[in-house]
Structure formats: structure tokens, C-alpha cells
Structure 1
Amino acid sequence: MYFSRFISLLPAIAGLASAIPHSKRADTEDITIYAYGTNISGLAIYAGSTDGLAYIASAPSADLTAITWDVSSTDSTWNVTESNTTISVGSFYIVDTDSAFTAAGFLSSNSTTPANAVTTGFKIFGGQVALISNGSLLSQFWATTTDTEGVYSLMWNSDGTSQDNSVPVALKTMAPSTTTT
């Protein structure tokens, strides 16, 4: 008897629960973003110290600055600061035009915005960075070798075509696992 009353109330309870407004996901601050791809197993993203571009490497150097990201759940810019400081590096951008294969980077307050630069619309889905463009999820990040061993330029490949000395990479908030022997 009680069981049948309980069962008959379930749809009403479910309806009330779904009517409760849900809060937006909180912004995420001070995270590191890692690249994963062929021969790139969870290398961090760094900022070029002099050129404002984004790089993938295993460790910072004189030319690379370690960074942390403030990732918003809204359509605002993703701001980047130097690790363990409040010194702003700038806002993350890509250049998204037909057939573009262009370096990603960071816009500081005194830098010139490249033509067709995109600074909003980035989201994290399941721990992976994507761009929402015209209702589609895009992840066209690529790594291109540089003159420095183990350092790659982070690129945006609009049409996803194969590029010389480059591999597609997934950008994730998950740090690589470390094993001990």
C-alpha cells in the first residue's frame, strides 16, 4: 500500500526537482593546460617570453614563461598569468579563417589583435578544450616543431588538413600520469 503511493508520487517529485534552477558551473582559476598527441604526452602550454605566442614544451626556458589559466564558463576571454604570480600574460586567442594554419597566442593590453582573431567561445568539455563556432564544437589544435628540440608551436588548423612537421593535439586540463618504478 505504501509502496504504491510512493511509486505514484515519483513523477511529481521528479517534476519538482527538474524545475529547480541549476547554478552555472563555477569559473576555474589557476589551471594548467596540457597537450596530448603523437609523441606529445601531456606537455604543458607555455607563453613565449618575447613574442606572445603559445608553445608546448616539457619545461619552461629562458624563452618560455610558465603560465596558469583562468577559464570562464561564459563567453568571456580566457586570461593567462605567469605561474605563481598575478602578472598578466594576456588573453588566449586563435585565428580562425578558411584554411588558416596560424599560431595561437596571448593578447596583452599593449599588443595588436591579429586579423580574424577569436578570443571567446572556448569551453572545456570532459576536460578537453574546444571552441564553439556556429553551434559546432571544434578542436583543431596542432603542434608544429620549432628550431628548439622538444618545443612546439601551438597552432590552429581551421580546415584540419595535414601540415608538414605538425601533428594534431588535444588540449586537456588533466595532468599526465606519472609512474614510479
Structure 2
Amino acid sequence: MLSLSILPLLVFGLVCSAHPFEKRQSRPTDSFKLYAYGPGISGLPIFYRNGSAEVADASKVDTTTMAAMTPINFTAAENTWVAHPSSSSRSNEGFTTLSTNTNMLCLDQGDTDSNPVSFTAVPATGKLDTTKHSNVWSTYGGYVLVTVSGANFYAKPTATDGLYSLLWSSSAEAMTDTIPVVLRTAEPATESVLN
């Protein structure tokens, strides 16, 4: 039988251990970036290009292709993430295609097992496009979570070396010619050390 003097200590321990768990599940309140991690992809940043989310290794991608891509930050509101041009961008090229307040990160819902991760306009009417899941985003300890059952992320190599299309699927099997990735808000440790 528990001593009554130990009971307050147990209650205190439960309250203290629940607080970090609650904090890990909260959504980011400041501007943040997204990075993809997977085999051969060690924390590559997510870029905006022509309405799609792409993963790029800037050290490998040619300068013409990089100039057409927009480095982005995100801000969170409820379960939606809005993309904004990064203030640390090297050029303004491509910014005209990315408004600072009208591009939500979304999961396109197509008829295939490989669907693009893209961007959709914030609707003025408040009605969300039912073919695009935009109010599904959250984080847990820096890891990106979505409320779509069984959703997995993949990077598909493009014809440009170091450039990948970001895809998602609710199928448990990996898509052909893709690399399974995890999305995180934490930048790679080597980038922090070098900067």
C-alpha cells in the first residue's frame, strides 16, 4: 500500500512529465523552413517552383534551375501552413509566382498512388478545395505530421541532378524510382556548423 506522503510526489511527477509531451505536439509559432531526410537526402530544403514543392541540393543543381526556384519559409495557422518567400533569398526571380499570403502547403489528391505536394491559394470564401488537403499539417518534436491516414512522403529524382519532386502517397508500398523521406522543421546539423 502506498504511503500518503509518496502520493504528492507521484502526482507532481505526472504533471511534470506531461508538460514536455504537450509542448512537442504544439505547432510552430514562428517562421520555419522544411527539410527532407532520407537515404542520400540528408536534410535538403524544400523550395517552391511553379506551384509545386521540390527538394533541392543547391550545390548540385545548375544556377539556371535554382534561379527559377523560390526559397521559402512557412508560418502556421491552425492546421494550415502558408509559404512565404525567404528573406535570405539570393535573387527575386520567381517571387512573382509566390504571393506572400496566398499559398498554403497542400497534398494534392489525385487518382494515383503518387500525388504531388504543392501549394494552393487561401480561399476568400473559406471553402477549401476538396481535391487538396491543406488543413492537415502539424509537428511533433520537429517532425512533420499530417492527418491523412497512412500518408508517406517520397522524393522523386528529376532530370536535373540534385533536384527532386516531393510526392506523397497513402499506399504503404514505396513508389517506383522514389526515395522515402521524412519531413522535419530541423535543419541538418552540418548546415548549422558551416554557417
Q: What TM-score does the superposition give when structure 2 sets the normalisation length? A: 0.69
Partner of 1:35 in structure 2? 36
Partner of 1:55 in structure 2? 54
Partner of 1:78 in structure 2? 81
Q: 1:131 aligns with which of 136, 139, 146?
A: 146
Equivalent position amino acid for 1:56 in 2:
V
Which ranges in structure 1 are unaligned for 5 or more consecutive residues?
Answer: none
Partner of 2:136 in structure 1? 121
Structure number with higher strand proportion: 1
Q: Aligned pair count?
A: 165
Aligned-partner SS, 1:61: helix
Aligned-partner SS, 1:81: strand
The answer to whether residue 73 in structure 2 is matched with residue 68 in structure 1 is yes
Q: Which runs of 4+ in 1 moved over 6 A?
A: none
Q: 2:105 aligns with which of 85, 92, 99?
A: 92
Q: Are the aligned partners of 2:36 and 2:55 in contact in 1 as well (CA < 8 Å)?
A: yes
Q: Are the aligned partners of 2:28 and 2:139 in contact in 1 as well (CA < 8 Å)?
A: no
The answer to whether residue 185 in structure 2 is matched with residue 173 in structure 1 is yes
For 2:112 and 2:147, how far apart are their aligned partners in 1? 18
Q: Structure 1 residues 119, 6: CA separation in 2 closer, same or farther (over 3 Å shift)?
A: same
Deviation at 1:62, TM superposition (A): 1.6
If you compute each CA radius of gyration, which structure gives the higher value, 1 or 2? 1
Partner of 2:96 in structure 1? none
Alignment RMSD: 3.4
Q: Structure 1 residues 67, 153: CA separation in 2 closer, same or farther (over 3 Å shift)?
A: same
Q: Are the aligned partners of 1:68 and 1:81 in contact in 2 as well (CA < 8 Å)?
A: yes
Equivalent position amino acid for 2:76 in 1:
V
Deviation at 1:170, TM superposition (A): 0.2
Q: Structure 1 residues 165, 78: CA separation in 2 closer, same or farther (over 3 Å shift)?
A: same
Residue by residue over 1:18-69, the C-alpha shift from the partner in whole angstroms, topping out at 9 and shown as x without a partner, is: 9xxx899464221111000111110000000xx2100001238122100001
Sequence identity percentage: 28
For 2:161 and 2:9, how far apart are their aligned partners in 1? 61
Deviation at 1:83, TM superposition (A): 0.4
Q: What TM-score does the superposition give when structure 1 sets the normalisation length? A: 0.74
Partner of 1:104 in structure 2? 117
